[in-house]
Amino acid sequence: MTREEKKDAAYSSKIIEGIYKKEIDSKSEVLKNKTIIIKRAFGNFCIDVETYFSISGEEALKYENVGYGGVVFLGNIEGTVVTQGLYYKTQEIKTEIENLIRSMDLIDFEVREAINYVHEQHGRPSIQHAVLHFNVNNK
């Protein structure tokens, strides 16, 4: 690796750390406006199934996958998990959770696009992405 390539790799690392910092700020901003209870565990945003879902309900309130968004549904109702046909308790809860998932997916997409652009312009970072992300999350 030439000196110029090392310089670009170090520069890429700094830019990508900045992207990850903005990701954290953006996700924090999305979360602070939510009325539902969201917990953090294992790098995901966790929502308790029993609090926001029921085993039966109106067809309009049935869970539909709208994306991932780093949102994990914890628990089940009578052995049934969200993806097996649970229903949101209210339309407001459905709207809020779906908007949360879509917002988080959009942020993740923008982060990936920004990092890909950095790779194209300056090359890959000198430090692995996982390490950069971990460093930013644990400061």
For 62-80, write each residue's pLDDT tens digit.
Answer: 999 998 878 899 899 999 9
The 10s digit of each residue's pLDDT in 30-52 is 999 889 999 987 778 899 999 99
pLDDT tens for 78-137 read 999 998 999 999 999 999 999 999 999 999 999 999 999 998 888 888 778 778 888 787
Cβ neighbourhood burial of 31 (10 Å; 0-12, 13-18, 19+): middle
- Whole-model pTM? 0.84
pLDDT of residue 4: 65
With H, G, I as helix, E, B as strand and everything else as coil, classify residue 45: strand
Gap between the Cα atoms of 74 and 92, Å rounded: 20
